């Protein structure tokens, strides 16, 4: 039985210690893909090993369980594979122009390694060097955005404190920066990185705009605070578009030929997509999003092996510009 495995029971104990809110039975079901009955058995098994476990009642009267800090620490040993994954993530962040995240992840890795026993740490470093040598990261093609790290630090503090910021922002095609007063909500990362900002003027509080981080020349945090729009969700906002360019969402329908269908099945083109398999082996993908230019860039990588059925605007953009498809690398 899966619940009898010591490794999974330890993982559950670590999760119970890591979560300040505690772990509910539904969390255990999701983490380990088990039934409610098995989740109860796993919880009880951890409770027998760690009697320090606390039972709490959270929102909606749901019971949750938490193990106090430091109870399981002596059982934690890092694996080389885990730290190697951190190293790959640091390289990926750096490659994508997200240096602030890279620095934070490097600091986290150093703190985590410092918790290890000296003898285990020595063995870990040797294995880690071998893992890092065996894993590389392909260079990100094309240019990467240039972002001032101090701007990221300042904007993050303003986002956490809900303070309005004043930007010196240089719009595309202009040489002189313009003053912008913005309620900072969060960041969107893509081929370019953006600040998502709400309108700070009266009557425009519910409007949200994108500001390219590379075009921000200065950031000043004001003493004026703002209330976040309760109906705003960053993920929902991002999913309105195929990329990061905000346009009115449209119905999108692409039909991949039988030759390209198997490759297309390996992609998630959009979180809202629905796939239809046709008898002739072709594949139809449907979703709703804006950002026609970014869609056009992507569709061109499939050459003549995808037919744009909708929207008409995208179909017109690609007319006569379809190279012969040579397959994905």
Quick: pLDDT tens for 122-138.
Answer: 655 655 565 555 555 55
Name the band, by pLDDT with cuts 50, 70 and 90, for residue 220.
very high
Who has greater pLDDT, 240 or 42?
A: 42
Report d(CA 262, CA 254) in Å as an integer.
14
128, 84 contact by CB (below 8 A): yes
Q: Does 70 have pLDDT greater than 50?
A: yes
List the structure tokens of 48: 């027998």
Name the band, by pLDDT with cuts 50, 70 and 90, for residue 71.
low
Count Cβ atoms within 10 A of the Cβ of residue 241 and give its class: 0-12 exposed, 13-18 middle, 19 or more buried.
Answer: buried
- Helix, strand or coil, per DSSP, at residue 281: coil
- Residues 209-229 have a mean pLDDT of 88
pLDDT of 3 reads: 43
List of domains in the chain: 2-75 (1.10.10.10), 80-134 (no CATH), 149-238 (2.30.30), 250-318 (3.30.70)
Report d(CA 217, CA 212) in Å as an integer.
11
Closest CA to 259 of 295, 283, 285: 283
pLDDT of 318 reads: 82
Backbone angles phi, psi at 63, to 5 degrees: -75, 140
- Residues 98-110 have a mean pLDDT of 81
pLDDT of 1 reads: 42
Give the lowest-confidence range in 95-109, 196-210, 272-286.
196-210
Q: Does 192 have pLDDT greater than 90?
A: no
- Percentage of the chain with pLDDT > 90? 11
Q: How far is CA 167 from CA 146, 191, 224, 270, in A?
A: 17, 22, 14, 32
- Residues 258-272 have a mean pLDDT of 84
Backbone angles phi, psi at 257, to 5 degrees: -70, 160
Q: Does 329 have pLDDT greater than 50?
A: no
Q: Does 308 have pLDDT greater than 80?
A: yes
Report d(CA 52, CA 13) in Å as an integer.
11
Who has greater pLDDT, 285 or 172?
A: 285
Q: Does 242 have pLDDT greater than 90?
A: no
Highest-confidence segment of 111-120, 236-245, 255-264, 320-329 = 255-264
Omega into 183 within 30° of 0, i.e. cis?
A: no
Q: Does 66 have pLDDT greater than 80?
A: yes
List the structure tokens of 119: 């003898």
Count Cβ atoms within 10 A of the Cβ of residue 155 and give its class: 0-12 exposed, 13-18 middle, 19 or more buried.
Answer: buried
List the structure tokens of 220: 């000043």
- Model-level pTM? 0.52
Give the lowest-confidence range in 63-67, 81-85, 139-143, 229-233.
139-143
Q: Chain-wide mean pLDDT for the chain? A: 79
Report d(CA 281, CA 325) in Å as an integer.
17
């Amino acid at each position: 039985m899966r619940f009898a495995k010591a490794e999974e029971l330890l993982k559950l104990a670590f999760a119970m210690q890591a979560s300040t809110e505690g772990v509910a039975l539904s969390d255990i079901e999701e983490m380990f893909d088990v039934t409610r009955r098995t989740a109860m058995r796993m919880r009880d098994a951890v409770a027998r090993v760690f009697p320090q476990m606390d039972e709490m009642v959270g929102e909606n009267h749901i019971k949750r369980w938490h193990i106090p800090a430091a109870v399981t620490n002596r059982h934690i040993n890092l694996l080389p594979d885990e730290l190697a994954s951190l190293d790959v993530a640091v390289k990926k962040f750096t490659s994508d122009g997200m240096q602030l995240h890279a620095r934070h992840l490097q600091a986290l890795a150093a703190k985590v390694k410092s918790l290890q026993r000296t003898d285990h740490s020595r063995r870990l470093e040797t294995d880690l060097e071998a893992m890092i040598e065996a894993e590389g990261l392909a260079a990100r093609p094309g240019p990467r955005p240039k972002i001032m790290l101090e701007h990221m630090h300042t904007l993050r503090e303003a986002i956490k404190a809900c303070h309005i910021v004043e930007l010196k922002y240089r719009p595309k095609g202009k040489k002189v920066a313009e003053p912008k007063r913005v309620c900072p909500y969060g960041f969107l990362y893509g081929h370019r990185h953006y600040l998502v900002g709400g309108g700070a003027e009266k009557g425009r509080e519910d409007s949200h705009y994108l500001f390219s981080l590379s075009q921000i020349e200065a950031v000043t945090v004001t003493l004026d605070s703002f209330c976040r729009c309760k109906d705003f969700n960053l993920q929902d906002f991002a999913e309105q578009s195929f990329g990061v360019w905000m346009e009115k969402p449209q119905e999108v329908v692409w039909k991949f030929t039988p030759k390209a269908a198997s490759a297309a099945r390996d992609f998630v083109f959009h979180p809202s997509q629905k796939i239809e398999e046709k008898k002739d082996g072709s594949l139809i993908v449907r979703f709703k999003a804006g950002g026609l230019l970014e869609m056009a860039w992507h569709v061109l990588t499939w050459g003549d092996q995808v037919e744009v059925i909708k929207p008409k605007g995208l179909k017109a953009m690609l007319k006569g510009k379809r190279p012969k498809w040579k397959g994905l690398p």
